[in-house]
Amino acid sequence: MKNTEINILEEIDLKDPIFVEALPGIGHVGKLAADHMIDELNATKFAELYSHHFPPQVFVDEDGLVENMVNEFYYLKSQGDEKRDYIILVGNSQALSPEGQYQLSGEILDFVEKFGVKEMYTLGGLATGHPIEKSRVFGAATDIETIETLKELDIEIRSADGGIVGASGLLIGLGKLRNIKGACLMGETPGYFIDPEAAEAILEKLATILNIAINTDKLDERAEETRKMISKAQKIEQEMMNRSMGSGEDDLRYIG
């Protein structure tokens, strides 16, 4: 296996698609929103990305079957009032290292550009560290025109005192260098639990921007699925720590 591989599951033809990214992050806000969008609009998976930059682990389900760390590409055709096509990227992991983040972001952009992507939206959470009554949506963009669009929808513009860490920020930054216009939408969240309310807030804003209808009634169910996934990941991390402490040194013998 190469450092990163994209396996094509279905050959597709898209017209001027919009790219939407939402990988795991703060409160799993973006992931919840995009997973729900995929389910509600019946998107079809057409490619999978595997990489050595993902954590060295697998998930194990209730039947004992393993699930690899993976990013998945889905497509939608002729959606909304403008009948636009979409590529949606979700997954169960981001890259572990800064080097991996840059390498994977470049691979992802190379891939979606082949389909003619010139516009993108990345989704994530913005942690407050304390409880909030109602989640606000913050945004940042690659160009002034998109900033004005966000303002018209009462999306608060992210101030200069903070950046956007991880794939959601890096993709729009590197995309700007490729003349791909875009914006990052961030749902305000305490940051220490899975937050379907913040996911609903950014999904409603995204749906308005894209002129599509998305029912959000089942977001709580999606949040419960994500909680189970995180619980499994935490157990694996704890096992890794226990093994390392037990050996008195850092080792990777658990990989087996």
Q: CATH number of the domain that 104 lies in?
A: 3.40.50.10900
Residue 250: count of CB within 10 angstroms of its CB: 7
User: Is the distance from CB of 209 to CB of 203 less than 8 angstroms?
Assistant: no
**Domain count within the chain:** 1
44 found inside a domain: yes
* Cα 188 to Cα 183: distance, rounded to the nearest angstrom: 16
Task: Look at residue 253 and tell me whether its pLDDT is greater than 50.
Answer: no
Within-domain flag for 5:
no
> Is 196's pLDDT higher than 70?
yes
Output the pTM of the full model. 0.85
250 located within any domain:
yes
- Specify if 49 maps to a domain: yes
* Residue 235 in domain: yes
How far apart are the C-alpha atoms of 256 and 72, rounded to whole Å?
A: 26
10, part of any domain: no
Q: How far apart are CA 2 and CA 6, in angstroms?
A: 10
Which contiguous run of DSSP H or E holds residue 122? Answer: strand 119-127
First-last CA distance in the chain: 17
In this structure, is residue 8 part of a structural domain?
no
DSSP label of 27: G
Given a contact cutoff of 8 angstroms between Cβ atoms, the answer to whether 209 and 202 are in contact is: no
Region 17-25: mean pLDDT is 95
Q: How confident is the model at residue 238 (pLDDT cuts 50, 70, 90)?
A: confident
In this prediction, residues 15-20 reach a mean pLDDT of 96
Q: Give the residue numbers spanning the domain of 62.
A: 15-255
The answer as to whether 6 is a domain residue is: no
